[in-house]
Copies of this chain bind each other. A is one copy, B any other.
Amino acid sequence: MSDRRAVVLLSGGLDSATTLAIAVNEGFSCYCLSFDYGQRHRTEIEYARELADQLGAVEHRTAKLDIGTFGGSALTDKALEVPVVREGDESAPTDEIPLTYVPARNTVFLSYALGWAEVLGAYDIFIGVNAVDYSGYPDCRPEFVAAFESLANLATKAGVEGNKISIQTPLIKLRKEEIILRGISLGVDYSQTVSCYQLGTDGKACGVCDSCRIRKAGFANANLQDPTRYL
């Protein structure tokens, strides 16, 4: 096993599964971290556990988070409806920050990853953010990631002692189809990943939320069959 340890944020979605496969392929011993933050469905955490196992991670942990209690997002606040685009409505996602944005989510996720990285003696943190086919979240942009990396090196014992902490974002400039093709070349089974914001209890994706639309288009553009089970 490699001495180079990495913490990998793993949601159970397409992007983070690919990110884990890349980190393993680069020779890191991967410690995967998922969050139970009151998201509408928890199936993705079970998918994450399976993916960590299949893709050769050393360990998988799920941390419970209280951020859902602050409300403010359709993903955690049951009073808000997940925005969908019905068939025939060809309007693309707009530039506005959508209701599915969870306040400060990636900041909180990366902070936890940083804490675990310190304890593990890991200097690399992988996160599957993407600045191309994304949903307009401010905390998916390269400048956000760079700012977090600066912070990480000031915030920690490791940073202070001169061990540079890197926030690794191997997907940041890839289009969805490129992510999918990369993952397939590394053996990711995308039927075992979930993207839908409002997955049914039967495990079927809605097919109409932003996340489903972006995923569908990715498989179409890659000329691959989409293994997702849609409603």
Contacts and interface: CB of A to CB of B under 8 A. Distances in A.
Interface of A: 61, 63-67, 69-72, 97, 101-108, 111-112, 114-116, 118-119, 138-139, 141, 143-144, 147-148, 150-152, 154-157, 159-160
A101 B158 CA distance: 12
A139 B159 CA distance: 11
Contacts of A112: 66-67, 104, 108
A84 B164 CA distance: 31
Contact of A155 (B66, B118, B138, B160): B138
B69 A66 contact: no
B69 A63 contact: yes
Contact of A151 (B102, B151, B157): B151
Given A61-B69, A65-B65, A104-B118, 4 more contacts: A72-B115, A107-B114, A147-B150, A150-B150
B115 A108 contact: yes
Given A150-B150, A151-B148, A101 B71 contact: no
Given A72-B118, A155-B139, A160-B138, A66 B67 contact: no
Nearest to A118: B103
A174 B92 CA distance: 53
A212 to B, nearest CB: 23
Nearest to A116: B70
- Which of A106, A112, A144 gathers most chain B CB within 10 Å? A112
Contacts of A102: 115
Contacts of A63: 66-67, 69
A159 B138 contact: yes
7 contacts: A63-B69, A64-B64, A103-B118, A104-B155, A105-B115, A107-B114, A148-B151
